[in-house]
Structure 1
């Protein structure tokens, strides 16, 4: 026998069933694992366990990064139009006010290793571009992408990358020296080598200043401190003073006169941001030598190791 319910009772039944059903809140789109939403730039980033992230440099240095509670591993992601940029950031939570280092090429493992040790020893932070161990990010050179506007990008024939440029440079407090770490192939192409950095070669606006007090592997011509400036070396007294200091320690210097920008970090700092810039460049794999030069540069800048560093 069929039972027919009056329409008001049917409506009441449907309403009760709807109220009894669990309410599913609408969730925002998921953020990529280990990424930070750009609009949350001021938010505090979480600290990741180094063995849980995909970055191979971080996992290789996991024992150093994860030792104690001083270092905090953070992951960030920004986008310039269709181009996404990923960053690995190491901060010294105990001593956050130390120097800041930029490692722009993900295939330069010695630079990353030396940077981690520098953050532990001197405090501060390091920002490293993550491109899955490749040198370029989808055909873009991270060290030739510093252009916040179309006008800045025009001389380099690249697209402006304001988010990328800001993400890196915002790491450095106003007036603080911009410090970068690189490694390169042995020798210079002009003398039969494979690289493009050597204190034994002066070319393309770069003036090589080999040390007059060589000290073994430290003084190899491929291991240098690069200092840029807008005037010729003979007119730059600050660069000359730095070169004399490093020469006394057996460390080579390259002075680069900056004119037309190539959108590298050194050119952008010299022409746009202003302030001192130092790049420590060594042969691939020479992390220990890079650490020695870091110590020398910290001495020049008056930075002392943190307690226990």
Structure 2
């Protein structure tokens, strides 16, 4: 990693860092030897058969970045499975399952570029200022980050699908509905609503939507017909769907996708812990959403077999 004093000097001089985002360092790696918790859960060589793993490192503005890019070598042209938060382990598990089934590429952000903060939500490898949320770094002033994440993906390959886990409930003080619910964190619940998020709840509450914190986000630009958004059909097929209206970008992947015309979905489920059974449950809920959405909205991307 580039030393902090050097980064500060570079920032002061207004020069680009040595690891220019236009020339990222890309290295092939053996997944069986990667010192990372996500890889450590998968030490069976059979799990990596037919998968190519690369480490991508670059510096943009004040932050050092490390990404893992995992490609299905038999089906490299397929969806982009994006796992932006290193602490959302169920998302990584679901991405590996989806990659084997539908092909394409995983891009996963590694917070371990700062060794004291591996496996955390934010990137602390910054020269100055606050740590960076990897899902709030899709900024037109920092074009390298989005460009590198999307570099091996073409719109014809299939959608971009982000995979997340979240905390239970939602911040009732920020919601316009269900304000008497037990207080939670953030906005990720089918029971949350405000001027920008409109929920469409599953009526049957069948798996995986027997959990209010398992939801899909469908995004559209303000002034556009919401029903013209990619995969709006989920709202008519008994999904928990949150309709997200984008006015001014919040620098998230979903807002970036809407503003750049990318077919994009965001799937969320409750983080239930790191025990194998808990991770399996998170993976199964996310893959259930993926399978139904792919059949409805990207039928040209066939599952394995």
CA–CA distance in 2 between the matches of 1:289 and 1:208?
19
Do residues 304 (structure 1) and 285 (structure 2) align?
no
Counterpart of 1:53 in structure 2 is 34
Q: Aligned-pair RMSD on alpha carbons?
A: 2.4
The partner residue of 2:227 within 222, 237, 249 is 237
CA–CA distance in 2 between the matches of 1:59 and 1:163?
29
CA–CA distance in 2 between the matches of 1:269 and 1:106?
21
What is the number of equivalent residue pairs in this alignment? 254
Q: Is the 8 A contact 1:225 1:252 kept in 2?
A: yes
The partner residue of 1:72 within 49, 52, 56 is 52
CA–CA distance in 1 between the matches of 2:207 and 2:106?
28
CA gap of 1:216–1:44, structure 2 versus 1, over 3 A, is closer
Counterpart of 2:63 in structure 1 is 83
Where structure 1 has 5 or more consecutive residues not aligned to the other structure, the ranges are: 1-28, 30-35, 150-160
SS of the aligned residue for 1:73 comes to: strand
CA–CA distance in 2 between the matches of 1:122 and 1:262?
30
The partner residue of 1:276 within 263, 266, 269 is 263
Counterpart of 2:8 in structure 1 is none
Q: Is the 8 A contact 1:219 1:252 kept in 2?
A: no
Runs of 4+ aligned structure 1 residues displaced above 6 Å come to none
CA–CA distance in 1 between the matches of 2:163 and 2:134?
13
Which range is displaced more, 235-244 or 66-75? 235-244
CA–CA distance in 2 between the matches of 1:60 and 1:221?
28
Instruction: Tell me the TM-score normalized by structure 1.
Output: 0.75
CA gap of 1:147–1:306, structure 2 versus 1, over 3 A, is same
Counterpart of 1:189 in structure 2 is 171
CA–CA distance in 1 between the matches of 2:283 and 2:200?
22
SS of the aligned residue for 2:147 comes to: helix
Q: Is the 8 A contact 1:226 1:256 kept in 2?
A: yes
